[in-house]
Structure 1
Amino acid sequence: MSSRMGDLLKEKLDQLQCHFTWRPQKETIDLDDMMYRLQDAIIFPNKYKATSYNQLAFVNCLQGNSEEAIQNLKEAEKILRENHKDAFERRSIIIYGNYAWVHYHMGQLDKAQSYLDKLEMICKPLTDGPRYTAMIPEVYGEKGWSLVKSAAEYYEEAMECFEKALEKDPDNTEWIMGKATVLFRLESFSGTPESHTGSQSMQHLRRVLELDPDNSVAMVLLGLKLQQLCDPEKEANELIKQALQKTPDFPYVVRYGALFYRREGNVQRAVELLEKTVALCPQSCFLHHQIAMCCKSQLMPLLKIPRGTSCAFQQKSKLIEKCKNHFEKACEHRRRAIKPQLDFADFCIMLGDYSKAEEIFSHLVKLVDIRPENMQKICLEAGSFELYQKRSETKAISLFLTGLRVEHDSKARKECKKKLNRWADRKLHFTPHNSMALGVIGSLYQLDGDKLKAIEYFEKALEIDRDNVEYLSALAALSLSLKG
């Protein structure tokens, strides 16, 4: 085919609804990490295996493994034909779109066009809209799951997809479970609207279990949510036990079951579950992170024992090594996983390994396109490290201000503000003409919208540090805004 025909084909492909046209792209997702997670998801029997194969095809194609991608799509197609005979065509829209894109990337333009022709035939009776796609619940639902699996930055968009799917198919457990999963995760983020109620996910998880009483994932998430809200422990424990009995080898269920037991204080039970499962999924960031946190819990009381106790010293040394090993494995393939890395840095600080902690923070502060509350948490933890361990006030203040300037009402942001206020007040108490402290107070007033007070403090700071570009710039912007 000519170049012109290739361009025309590309225009048609861009109209499709599939992984290649949805927002997560090579630049914004960690492909290696997603590959490991999707491979873990397809090892074990589960209801969303076709969805995982479909997304794995997209990842393989982006990594240049087009033949692998075709095999992934064939597996997804086979599963859908077996499990959704009556609705196969509706559920094949995304698979055929992915097929078209993979063949396009392979230079097989005729095959790509053949899948566009199939899509046109399928979609024509389903929609009056675009020729090659139809915005039906099956498309919205799979897009929602794809976004959930991609990165936390896409959770809100995933929620919208599941809600669209449920508008026309309100009793579909797959879409209800999708919405419950997103709510469960958003409720754990400080500052999100969902975090203020904290229990929306519960009603959706209970609805899933009404429609599908054997859904072990819904059981384990509901058990965790009940534990978090301090609801009857008996129900929470029973749900976790049932979930683990129904799917004892499903990593997704086991990892959350282990998290439940660790939070309950039954660390040994958590370790047993995690170590059995990590042998099956050796690249799992979540499993290694949880084992590391269990080891850290076991280590804490041993740190208080005097050095002379040889048995305790040996046990402590083993736990330190094991903890470090699992933290390293957790972070090795997920360079954008925030919590494991922050927990690893905290562990390093606890042991006095400041160089490793500094290395972790240096990486984290450079991350872009992450959730605002995550950036604020990074700035808070990195700033505290600089202030208390490294004794670098300048770097610490810069990090706290960066976290504060991210406009998201999280706990971490409030902590950044509190630390800045405390530091500035203490400095000015002992040295009333400290320009840096005066500048910080000016910045705090500026962020609070009190322009006149901000100007007053920036002017005071400039009386001492006349050529400070940051203060001059802030003062000029404030003065200009008052004139406007």
Structure 2
Amino acid sequence: MQNMSCTRDEPPYTDLEELECHFTWDLKKEDTNITDLLTRLEQHRDLYLGQKSGTAHTHNSLAYVKYLLGFYEEALTNLHKSVEITNDCYGDNCDERLIVTYGNFAWLHFHLKQYAECKSYLDKLKKITEQKPPVPTSVLYTDVVGEKAWALFKFSRKYYDRAIECFRKALELEPERGDWNAGYAIVLYRTETKCTSPEDSSAIQQLRRAIETNPDNDEIKLLLALKLAEFKLFDEAEDLVEKALDKSPDSPHVIRYVGKFLRNYGKSVDRSIGLLKRALDATPNSAFIHHQLALCYKKKKEQFREHTESQRLCHLSISHFEKAVTLKAGFIVAKLQLATLYGEDGQIDRADEMFQTALFSAKEKNEGLQNLYLYYGEFQQYRKRCQQLAIKYYKDCLMMGPDTPDGKKGAKNLTKIANKRLSYNTNDTIALGIQEFIEQVTSG
């Protein structure tokens, strides 16, 4: 990219460090799969082209990702698009809504050594804050905190806790703001794990709140339906599903969650497959939809005993799992499920290779390791007939948390191995060692 001529000296670095924008929010390239992130942001941009108010933030995040990838012209184009959309939504006098965008402009021009342009955006920001200081009671401040929340949420699962904190801050200032309520609900839905009842579920409470402030957001309704179904509240869940599908029959985001609901809780896997195929026509590069289709075919395969049909469905499932992990390299759970299915199909070497790939990704992201250890242990035990490695991975699984469902399953599998060995030899040192290990981990 050609640098524009500089007419001024380099601006003070401290002025840039004080800005609120993607360049100062500690969004690290190594904390995400940058290719996956780019694909997700571009899909979000394309899906919501007609809803401009929701895409200005997306273009800001896209600009930062393009910068990280070295596509500086495209980064600038996205920032200009963010300005254009904001102007369309709020009118020409909307500079206070562009604090993050102007900050990104300043940093990008600084990195390109275009110091005159950098200084012009610093001047714009100084003028905005002088006219309306970003104190915690202003709408301006809420916009910045809210956009930061969305940026953290979209960038990496590692930032979910920071995103939750930012959404909470934004909602303290503007409790009726629909987009902040929706973002907060989605991140709670994705992070909540231990709840004994719907009354104890912060995600359910916030999803209901998000629907109040976003009555036309059918995706939120489906997330609530999925959450309610976990507690067997099927009547309300099914009502939400039907209403969402009636209102948004062609929305890929809606259809994918309807498909997931029907597969998990409905009576028709075929209907789920039909809906997901329709969604795939609109978004052929959606790893999520390919993953859901793979799970549908896998579930349908389990309903057939006839070998030819079962194998056909198995291969359909495998093809969609393969597409999902190709489109989203960091899709650990899909890699794990694909590896397991390879094993069921007798493709032992491919299964082992995929497990190793999933293991590398899980360790790199520190995500999904316990579940992976459990399934890899079962693969070693039942497919490769390697009890030694099975014991190793079950132990790894148990050590990561004896009270979790995976941890309890790991302990159960270890106990079965020990009991079987002891039935042949009551002094089997490996079996006695397993029992001692389980006792130490579960009692400590």
Deviations 1:290-342 (Å, cap 9, x if unpaired)? Answer: 1111122222222x12x5xxxxx3x4454333222211110103222122122
Name the TM-score, length of structure 1 as normaliser: 0.80
Out of 35, 39, 54, the residue aligned to residue 42 of structure 2 is 39
1:404 and 2:406 equivalent?
no
Compute the displacement of 1:381 (Å): 0.9
Which deviations, in whole Å up to 9, do the C-alpha atoms of 1:375-408 show, x marking residues without a partner? 1111111121112221223322322233333358
**Compared with structure 1, are the counterparts of its residues 87 and 400 closer, same or farther at alpha carbon in structure 2 (3 Å cutoff)?**
farther
Shift of the 415–22 alpha-carbon distance from structure 1 to 2, 3 Å rule, reads farther
Match of 2:241 in 1: 240
Alignment of 1:137-152 (within 5 A): 137-152=142-157
How far apart, CA to CA, are the structure 1 residues paired with 2:426 and 2:155?
50
The 3-state SS of whatever aligns with 2:291 is helix
Q: Residue 342 of structure 1: which of 336, 343, 346 is its match? A: 336
SS in structure 1 at match of 2:232: coil
CA distance, structure 2, for counterparts of residue 172 and residue 87 of structure 1: 21
Report the counterpart of residue 201 of structure 1 in structure 2.
203
Q: Is residue 2:297 matched to residue 1:262?
A: no
User: Aligned-pair distance for 1:434?
Assistant: 4.5
Give the CA deviation at 1:25. Answer: 1.7
Equivalent residue for 2:22? 19
Partners of 2:284 and 2:211 lie apart in 1 by: 31
In 1, distance between residues paired with 2:41 and 2:311?
35
> In angstroms, what is the RMSD of aligned CA positions?
2.9
Q: Does residue 1:423 correspond to 2:428, yes or no?
A: no
Asked whether the equivalents of residues 135 and 141 of structure 2 are also in contact (C-alpha less than 8 Å), the reply is no
- Mapped to 1, the partners of 2:409 and 2:215 lie a distance apart of 42
- Quick one: distance in 2 between partners of 1:10 and 1:343? 48
Partner of 1:393: 387
2:83 equivalent among 57, 77, 95: 77
Indicate the residue corresponding to 2:225 in structure 1: 223
Aligned CA distance change for structure 1 residues 427 and 39 (closer, same or farther; 3 Å): same
Q: Could you tell me which amino acid in structure 1 is paired with residue 133 of structure 2?
A: L
Shift in Å, 1:288: 0.4
- Compared with structure 1, are the counterparts of its residues 96 and 397 closer, same or farther at alpha carbon in structure 2 (3 Å cutoff)? farther
Residue 69 and residue 268 in structure 1: after superposition, are their counterparts in 2 closer, same or farther (change >3 A)? same
Paired amino acid for 1:142: E
Provide the TM-score with structure 2 as the length reference: 0.87
Residue 159 of structure 1, aligned match among 164, 168, 173: 164
Task: Please say if residues 87 and 94 of structure 2, whose CA atoms lie closer than 8 Å, have aligned partners that are also in contact.
Answer: yes
The 1-side partners of 2:412 and 2:310 are apart by 35
Q: Which runs of 5+ in 2 are unaligned?
A: none
Q: Deviations over 1:460-484 (max 9, x none)?
A: xxxxxxxxxxxxxxxxxxxxxxxxx
Is contact 1:153-1:369 (8 Å) kept? no
1:9/1:113 contact within 8 Å kept = no
Indicate yes or no: 2:91 matched with 1:89.
no
Task: Please list the CA deviations of residues 413-445 of structure 1 after superposition, one character each: whole Å capped at 9, or x if unmatched.
Answer: 232233334434443554455554454445445
> Which residue does the alignment assign to 1:328?
322
CA distance in 2 between partners of 1:66 and 1:55 (Å) = 13
What SS does the corresponding residue of 2:22 show, helix, strand or coil?
coil
For residues 21 and 32 of structure 2, the distance between their equivalents in structure 1, rounded to whole angstroms, comes to 16
Tell me, in whole angstroms, the C-alpha distance in 1 between the residues paired with 2:326 and 2:72.
26
Instruction: Give the Cα separation in 2 of the matches to 1:146 and 1:444.
Output: 43
- Within 2, Cα distance between the matches of 1:408 and 1:42? 42
The alpha-carbon deviation at position 40 of structure 1 amounts to 1.0
CA 1:410–1:448: 2 relative to 1, 3 Å: closer
When residues 424 and 84 of structure 1 are mapped into structure 2, their CA distance, relative to the original with a 3 A threshold, is farther
1:126 matches 2:118: no
Return the letter of the residue paired with 2:165.
Answer: E
- 2:216 match: 214
Aligned to 2:184: 179
**Maintained 8 Å contact 2:297/2:313:** yes
- The alignment covers a number of residue pairs equal to 430
| Sequence identity percentage | 33
Unaligned runs of 5+ in 1: 308-312, 451-484
Aligned to 2:275: 273
> Structure 1 417/103 Cα, relative in aligned 2: closer, same or farther at 3 Å?
farther
One-letter amino acid of the counterpart of residue 59, structure 1:
V
For 1:393 and 1:266, the matched residues in 2 are separated by 39
* Structure 2 partner of 1:459: none
Q: Is the 8 A contact 1:295 1:322 kept in 2?
A: yes
Q: 1:293 aligns with which of 283, 290, 295?
A: 295
DSSP-derived class of the 1:107 partner: coil
Structure 1 distance, partners of 2:230, 2:109, is 47
CA distance in 2, matches of 1:409, 1:20: 40
Q: Of 96, 115, 123, which aligns to 2:121? A: 115
State how far apart, in whole Å, the 1-side matches of 2:90 and 2:395 are: 53
Alpha carbons of structure 1 residues 196 and 340: separation in structure 2 relative to 1, 3 Å = farther
Counterpart residue identity of residue 178, structure 2: T
Name the CA shift for 1:266/1:151 in 2 (closer, same or farther; >3 Å).
farther
1:459-470 matches, within 5 Å, as: none
Deviation of 1:211 (Å): 2.9
1:194-235: CA deviation from partner (whole Å, max 9, x where unpaired)? 9997632222222232233222222222222222322142x3
Distance 1:13 1:250, change over 3 A: farther
What letter is aligned with 1:114?
A: S
Deviations 1:330-368 (A, max 9, x none): 010322212212221222222222222211110121233
Residue aligning to 2:141 = 136
Aligned pair in 2 of structure 1 residues 414, 21: CA closer, same or farther (>3 Å)?
A: farther
Query: Which residue identity is paired with 1:92?
Result: L
Amino acid at match of 1:137: T
Q: Which of 55, 58, 76 is the aligned partner of 2:61? A: 55
What's the offset of the Cα at 1:116? 2.4
Structure 2 residue aligned with 1:380, among 367, 374, 381? Answer: 374
Aligned residue for 1:92, secondary structure, equals helix
**Change over 3 Å in CA distance of 1:353–1:67 after alignment to 2:** same
Residue 164 of structure 1 deviates from its aligned partner by 1.0
1:370 to 359, 365, 380: 365
